[in-house]
Amino acid sequence: MRIQLDKLGIVIALLAAYGTLGASFAVSKPNRIVQGQAKSILDALPSWAAWALLVLLFAAAVVALLRTSAWAKLIAAAAALLALALAMGLTGHFLTPAGNTYARVSPASGFWILLFAFALLAADAITRLKPPPWMRVLFLILAGAGVGGLLFSGSWDGLSIMKEYAGRADVFWVEAGKHVTLALGSLLAAVAVGLPLGILCHRVEPLRASVLNALNIIQTIPSIALFGILIAPLGWIAATVPGAAALGIRGIGAAPAFVALFLYSLLPVVANTVIGLSGVPKDAVDAARGIGMTNRQRLFKIEFPLALPVILTGIRIVLVQNIGLATIAALIGGGGFGVFVFQGIGQTAMDLVLLGAVPTVALSFAAAVILDALIELNSRAVNGARSG
Amino acid sequence: MKAWLPTALRAMLLLLLNAFLLFPESFEPLFKSLVQPNAPAIYNQGSLLNLTLLHLKIVFFATLIAAIIAVLLAILVTRPFGSEFLPLSRSLVNIGQTFPPVAVLALAVPAVGFGEKPTLIALFLYGLLPIFENTLTALTNLPRSVVEAARGSGMTGFQRLLQIELPLSLPVIVGGIRLSVVISLSTATIGSTVAAKTLGEVIIAGLQSNNLAFILQGGLIVGALAVLIYDGLSAVEAVLARRAGVR
């Protein structure tokens, strides 16, 4: 029997081979900003751990190469990712001389390539499994619990990014709170305004084009500029409207960032509400009218539930976009994870950049997975109602 | 009478943009009221025209490379040889779009250093997704009858691709490029935080010196460029669609 190789497996095995043999696993630096010394897996870990990691990665690459079941691939990928995470933590402790608080150990390109290769394997396995929405959320929770467990156990405390965190633990959670408040708050405001506006645009035909065009133009203004432009009017409001300043409205800071994110969020919400409502089958509306439903009953009982999946898609776009854009709020003093990103860029301290960028990416990824699951659940309900 | 109005508005916008870039000083009275009495009302730390050209250059090259790679990848995964990658590539596009541009930009810095390079990489990666997604959608949703007819008339796979599939998909591909360019124009301004020479410099200079006129100038130029390029590519798309007979 001829052994059939998996084509994606070949790509993953090549990437893993390069990540292991061709690139360095970790960088060890005497302090935060100087050039570091690259270490391979064998130099970066105690020899038992290095060989265990190599054997495990090899085995996972073999599973990737063979045409095995998607579950086998998922388990191999998860094992490889976990081993990489644990090994990186061990490297942090192994390479830092005892008692030295200046030395920094960070992951190097080889680690990132290996991580990418096996994340690719996991993504492919999950795609092939076609898991139902609840299972995808379960996978997300498991992954989150894994990372949380590693963070909590102190396994990564020897790594540079965690040393950056240790020095800023309080600030980190304050900025995290600001980031989430900005992203979610502006989303809620946009839904509160955008839904009625979308319904209005759907009912009043002449309004539609002009409202959507205006919102489209707002989207073309680059984010930094919109944040900056709003400083002036909000500063003016704070200075002239009594009580505005007491509410936290100021020229710089979170207020202009909030308004800017709100403005960017309006287009997807309004546009998707209009598309969703116009996609409601005409017979459904006619039938509702036939049995004597009032305008309002039709809207809430028929049109709105049927349009919900499309509206949720708009909300997903907005939430993911807002989590990303909220990083820019840091440039105008609005806080959020961007504070670490821009501080890190300013000090050429890349671990600090990572401290801001990694949570942002994780947050928007989690938001996307959860909302995708919600959308699928809702569109199933709608399709079920349609065919039933 | 109404049909020429949008075109006239765009022509005016283009004229205004050119006039502002060539003779920024003549617009000084307009911006004077926005700044403190002794602050400069027009960006004075470099040539606006030059920055605009650099901005366009970086967006152009990033989009060009992204378009070539994205179309090639989409062709690859829709051939029998690459069909194993098709489901994964769809998920990757989905996952990739959750990466915020700032994060991509910041994460590219450790790999390649400051300046134009990380910006180019971020724009390229971010521009890849819409083009790939659109090309994939177009290539997988071609009218089956046309593809079958081409196969029936004895065309090889390569001929079908070049003479049937790509020409029919072109309007949708251009639509992807249009989305990509608009995102890139805006993202390139953030590139200035990692020392790339783009119009973001003007905005950041304004933020740092609390000069609203600078912020407006940078923002309005980028906004005008985005509107004009978006409309221009929409027009190209419409012409291509008419030629392909899709719409």
Which of B88, B193, B227 has its CB closest to that of A345?
B193
Q: Does the distance separating the beta carbons of B189 and A222 come in below 8 Å? A: yes
The DSSP secondary-structure symbol of A5 reads B
Q: Which residues neighbour B90 within 8 Å (Cβ) at sequence distance 6 or greater?
A: A127, B136
| CA–CA gap between residue A46 and residue A340 (Å, rounded) | 33
Chain B residues touching residue A123 (CB < 8 angstroms): 88, 91-92, 95
Chain A residues touching residue B106 (CB < 8 angstroms): 341, 344-345, 353, 356-357
Structural element, H or E, at residue A106: strand A104-107
Q: In this predicted structure, what is the pLDDT of residue A121?
A: 92
Closest residue of A to B204, CA-based?
Answer: A224
| CA–CA gap between residue B70 and residue B113 (Å, rounded) | 25
Exposed / middle / buried, residue A58 (Cβ in 10 Å: 0-12, 13-18, 19+): middle
CATH number at residue B224: 1.10.3720.10
Q: Of A69-73, A183-187, B9-13, which range is least confident?
A: B9-13
The token pair that represents A142 in the structure block: 């498991």
| pLDDT per position as a tens digit, B43-100 | 888 888 999 999 999 999 999 999 999 999 999 998 888 888 888 888 888 788 788 8
| pLDDT per position as a tens digit, A4-21 | 788 888 999 999 999 998
Which of B91, B100, B222 has its CB closest to that of A360?
B100
Establish if B219 belongs to a structural domain.
yes
In this predicted structure, the answer to whether residue A54 has a pLDDT above a threshold of 70 is: yes
Judged by CB atoms within 8 Å, which residues 215-244 of A form the interface with B? 217, 219-226, 228-229, 231-232
Establish if B198 belongs to a structural domain.
yes
Closest residue of A to B182, CA-based?
Answer: A220
Q: In this predicted structure, what is the pLDDT of residue B1?
A: 46
The token pair that represents A125 in the structure block: 């396995």
Which of B88, B97, B185 has its CB closest to that of A124?
B88
| Cβ–Cβ < 8 Å for A254, A336 | no
Structural element, H or E, at residue B32: helix B28-32
| Cβ–Cβ < 8 Å for A71, A125 | yes
| pLDDT per position as a tens digit, B32-46 | 777 777 778 788 888
β-sheet with A37-39: strand ranges across: A37-39, A26-29, A104-107
| pLDDT per position as a tens digit, A198-252 | 999 998 888 888 888 888 888 878 888 888 788 777 777 777 776 666 666 666 7
In this predicted structure, the answer to whether residue B112 has a pLDDT above a threshold of 70 is: yes
Task: Categorize the per-residue pLDDT at A388 as very low, low, confident or very high, splitting at 50, 70 and 90.
Answer: very low
**Range B105-112 average pLDDT:** 78
Q: Does the distance separating the beta carbons of A223 and B189 come in below 8 Å? A: yes
Q: In this predicted structure, what is the pLDDT of residue A6?
A: 84
Closest residue of B to A349, CA-based?
Answer: B110
Establish if B20 belongs to a structural domain.
no
Closest CA to A263 of A232, A309, A217, A308: A217
Rounded (10°) angle between helices A350-387 and A304-325: 170
Place of tokens 């840091």: A330
| CA–CA gap between residue A75 and residue B179 (Å, rounded) | 38
Which of B92, B103, B212 has its CB closest to that of A232?
B212
Judged by CB atoms within 8 Å, which residues 255-294 of A form the interface with B? none
Place of tokens 């993504």: A123
- The residues of chain A that CATH labels 1.10.3720.10 are 169-387
| CA–CA gap between residue B187 and residue B103 (Å, rounded) | 11
CATH number for the domain formed by residue range(s) A169-387: 1.10.3720.10
Q: In this predicted structure, what is the pLDDT of residue A240?
A: 74
| pLDDT per position as a tens digit, B116-136 | 888 998 888 888 888 998 999
Place of tokens 């049927």: A306
A261 versus A332: the higher-pLDDT residue is A261
Task: Looking at the complex, report in whole angstroms how far the Cα of residue B91 sits from the nearest Cα belonging to chain A.
Answer: 7
Total count of domains within chain B? 1
Place of tokens 């690139």: A23
Torsion of Cα atoms, A212 then A213 then A219 then A222, to 10°: -160
Share the mean pLDDT of chain A: 87
Establish if B155 belongs to a structural domain.
yes
Hey, which residues does A66 pair with through a beta bridge? A5
Q: Which domain holds residue B119?
A: 45-244
Closest residue of B to A372, CA-based?
Answer: B94
Percent of chain A topping pLDDT 90: 36
Task: Looking at the complex, report in whole angstroms how far the Cα of residue B76 sits from the nearest Cα belonging to chain A.
Answer: 13
Percent of chain A topping pLDDT 70: 95
Which of B84, B100, B186 has its CB closest to that of A364?
B100
Closest CA to A37 of A114, A91, A98, A116: A91
Establish if B213 belongs to a structural domain.
yes
3-state secondary structure of A32: coil
Establish if B36 belongs to a structural domain.
no
| CA–CA gap between residue B11 and residue B37 (Å, rounded) | 34
Q: Of A349-353, B62-66, B173-177, which range is least confident?
A: A349-353
Q: In this predicted structure, what is the pLDDT of residue B247?
A: 44
3-state secondary structure of A335: coil
Hey, which residues does A69 pair with through a beta bridge? none
Greatest C-alpha distance within chain B: 76
In this predicted structure, the answer to whether residue A118 has a pLDDT above a threshold of 90 is: yes
pTM of the prediction? 0.86
Cβ contacts from A onto B, under 8 A: 142
| CA–CA gap between residue B49 and residue A102 (Å, rounded) | 46
Task: Looking at the complex, report in whole angstroms how far the Cα of residue B80 sits from the nearest Cα belonging to chain A.
Answer: 12
By the CB < 8 Å criterion, does A121 face chain B? no
